[in-house]
Amino acid sequence: MISLFSPFLGLIFVVSYCGKIWHWEFRKQILVAALYFAVIIIVVAYDGALAVSLNASDALVGIGLGAVLFVLIVKNRLDINKALALLVVYETAYCFFRSWLFAPTLLALSKEMTPVYEAYMHRIPALQKNKEMLQWIQNFMISYQSAIWGSIQLTGVFIGFLLFNRISVLKLQIRYVRFPDRLVYLMIIALALSIYSHTRLFGINLLICSSVIYLMQGVAVLSFAWGNYFTKTKLLRTLLIIAIILNYPILILISFIGVLDVWFDFRKLNSIMEEKNESDIN
């Protein structure tokens, strides 16, 4: 039900709850998944509004099926890194499929939001004179729908993963999160597509989504570098997190660190340096 009202919150709760069910028997897992899908289908059959149908697709395909894949990888491989990598790639692919399949629905919903946009614009005197601003906002929301929705959902995956670690027997500390090296080709392809005018919009959307993925890896590198200092001092850690979230250039820098980690593997280099210092008598 939460997934229908907010795919973002639904993804957080579903991924975190996977920490409780991944070790269940397969029949019990199937029963939980069937109940989840049945509830979503019943709600859609009762209310066939555009927003409900769109959110139902997000809940069924984007969240439900993604969670099933996550649980299967964790259960069969016992590798949360691979499961997390698969989930972020799946969510990225779905956000583009969603924008393509539901393009008319998204356009219709954007037009339904016109009174809301106008109400907010009337509150800002400087925007009242700019009649083209409303059209620009709607075009922006449609053009970058994949990047906006994908970035939000990938953030939900990351938060859900943190909660998963709290309630699951099998854990992976954030400092050890590292996506497969081949995933960097996703960003390289996005950069290449952004160069050409015919594919620029698609490339920018993909680049934004892939940047969020490497933002997660950059955060993992920083968490590894911080060590136990910020773990023990919760107040400083909280203030640092707030400062990072509110500062977009720092977010871009952290994403860049995540990309560089593919080639340099900072955590491995740090471990090698520590071993070298411990073996050095001087």
pTM of the full structure: 0.86
Given a cut of 70, is residue 127 above it in pLDDT? no
Domain spans in the chain, listed from the N-terminal domain onward: 1-100+143-171, 173-282
Residue 12 has pLDDT above 80, yes or no: yes
Q: Six-digit token pair at 205?
A: 């959307």
Q: What HEC string does the chain produce?
A: CHHHHCHHHHHHHHHHHHHHHCCCCHHHHHHHHHHHHHHHHHHHHHCCCHHHHHHHHHHHHHHHHHHHHHHHHHHHHCCHHHHHHHHHHHHHHHHHHHHHHCHHHHHHHHHHCHHHHHHHHHCCHHHHCCCHHHHHHHHHHHHCHHHHHHHHHHHHHHHHHHHHHHHCCCCCCHHHCCCCHHHHHHHHHHHHHHHCCCCHHHHHHHHHHHHHHHHHHHHHHHHHHHCCHHHHCHHHHHHHHHHHHCCHHHHHHHHHHHHHHHHHCHHHHHHHHHHHHHHCCC
pLDDT for 155 beyond 70:
yes
Q: How many residues are listed for the chain in this entry?
A: 282
- Give CA–CA dist 73/162, Å, rounded: 17
Q: What percent of the chain stands above pLDDT 70?
A: 86
- State what percent of residues in the chain have pLDDT above 90: 37
Tens digit of each residue's pLDDT (9 = 90 or more) over 237-269: 666 677 777 777 888 888 999 999 988 888 876
Mean pLDDT score, 170-184: 89
Spacing of C-alpha 46 from chain mean position? 30
Contact 121, 133 (CB under 8 A): yes
Tracing tokens 């290449």 back to the chain, one arrives at: 192
Give me 188's structure tokens: 């390289």
Residue 183's CB is within 10 A of a number of other CB atoms, namely: 17
Distance, first Cα to last Cα, the chain: 63
Is 152 a residue whose pLDDT tops 80?
yes
Using 50, 70 and 90 to split pLDDT, how confident is the model at 110? confident
> Looking at residue 278, what is its pLDDT?
47
